[in-house]
Structure 1
Amino acid sequence: MPAMTLPLPSGDTWTRADYEALPEDLPVRVSLIHGELVVGPRPRPIHQRIARRLATSLEEAATDAWQVDTDVDVLLDEDETEPVEIAPDIVVYSAEHDPYERPIHAESVTLVAEVVSPSTKRKDRRMQPALYAAAGIRHYWRVETDQTAPAFAIYTYELDDATGLYIATGVHHDRISATLPFSLDIDLKAVRGR
């Protein structure tokens, strides 16, 4: 496989324009966090399978006001010198957003979900939830797989308006029933099964 060279930022930090100019078919995952380009490996198949199945279940439950996608860019902070743009594993966002346009602005997003992998434990459990909360995304779900926790579980959180931080709303092992901007009831055995 030939080596790939990423372009350099136009200044001392990466701007949104620099980030948006990156090719879409990079062999690695990239995020823009406070003006720094963060590069990570592509997820394992089991990670993608769980994300895809959960996203499909969410899409089936969603009303026409919402759309669900995986691995799409969400703009969390438009700061000129330290922008933040991340692609969560699952994003539930307003149907008013044109799916041909990227990124999705945080104010259009009601839920992001991250599937924890061995290489993403720290960012999925601590760093990214803080960024999502600061951007005002109402719901955050952390999916712990058998590889990274004692058992498969979805940890759900909701934004506390008083503190601007997430508060835990539940731990779900076999089934998740919730009311987001729409009601859902998902059998998690079908999501985690082989």
Structure 2
Amino acid sequence: MTAESAQDPVQWPVPPQGGWTVDDLFTLPDLPPHTELIDGSLVFVSAQRIFHADAIDMLMSGLRRTAPPEVKVKREMTVVLDSRNGPEPDISVVRAEAVRSRAQTYFKVADVLLAIEVVSPDSEARDRNTKPQKYAAAGIPHFWLVEMAGQDDRPTVQVYERGEATGTYVLTGIHHDHVKLSVPFDIDIDLTAIDEL
């Protein structure tokens, strides 16, 4: 520890009674990039693996290639689920009219058609359990969970669709080399393309 670091310790934000709100998430000064709000708690993201960045890039490219004009594909934008939850999916497919300006910092949950999480070591529980439950409860119709798997460390994409009767996600497929779907629009992505990045 240097003398300078002993004199200037990090000042972590102290939560108010009852926790933070989405309004706080957007107004607190000096929050680290990609800070999320889960159940009124701020969640700071740690450094990511190359797999995380490459998987996002590959999926973004594949989704944008086949996306119809009425949707937009965006990365790492806050989605406001309610006053105490503002997670940041790695990728969101939203209604085109939800993109209002280049200064925009979030989407309303009603505008999100598909949320995608690429699992990282520090976010496994949130990505596999917490976020899918919250996304489904908030009404996001489609969810993908992407994990590094196999000998080649390629992406495996688990595809979920929200059941209207239950309000929960149902697994509709697991894709190892290729994702070919007709919902929420025609999608055709070669997952082995990650090797070219």
CA distance in 2, matches of 1:117, 1:103: 22
RMSD (Å) for aligned C-alpha atoms: 2.5
Greater mean alpha carbon deviation, residues 34-43 or residues 172-181: 34-43
Aligned to 1:88: 89
C-alpha distance after superposition, 1:31-85 (max 9, x if no partner): 111211122313223211211221121111111111111111001113xxxx100
CA distance in 2, matches of 1:164, 1:13: 26
* 1:9 CA drift (Å): 4.1
CA distance in 1, matches of 2:195, 2:70: 27
Greater mean alpha carbon deviation, residues 54-63 or residues 32-41: 32-41
Return closer, same or farther for 1:192/1:71 CA change in 2, 3 Å cut-off.
farther
* 1:108 CA drift (Å): 0.2
* 1:192 CA drift (Å): 5.2
Aligned to 2:125: 122
Amino acid in the other structure paired with 1:106: V
Return closer, same or farther for 1:23/1:92 CA change in 2, 3 Å cut-off.
farther
Query: Of residues 20, 23, 30 in structure 1, which corresponds to 2:26?
Result: 20
Runs of 5+ consecutive residues of structure 2 not aligned to the other structure? none
TM value normalised by structure 2: 0.85
* 1:16 CA drift (Å): 1.9
CA distance in 1, matches of 2:25, 2:135: 19
Query: Which protein is richer in helix relative to its size?
Result: 2
Query: Of residues 153, 167, 172 in structure 2, which corresponds to 1:164?
Result: 167
Identity within the alignment, % = 35
CA distance in 2, matches of 1:180, 1:69: 17
Give secondary structure in 2 for the equivalent of 1:96. helix
When the two structures are aligned, how many residues end up with a matched partner? 189
CA distance in 2, matches of 1:179, 1:23: 42
Query: Of residues 102, 106, 115 in structure 2, which corresponds to 1:112?
Result: 115
Report if the CA contact (8 A) 1:174-1:187 is conserved.
yes
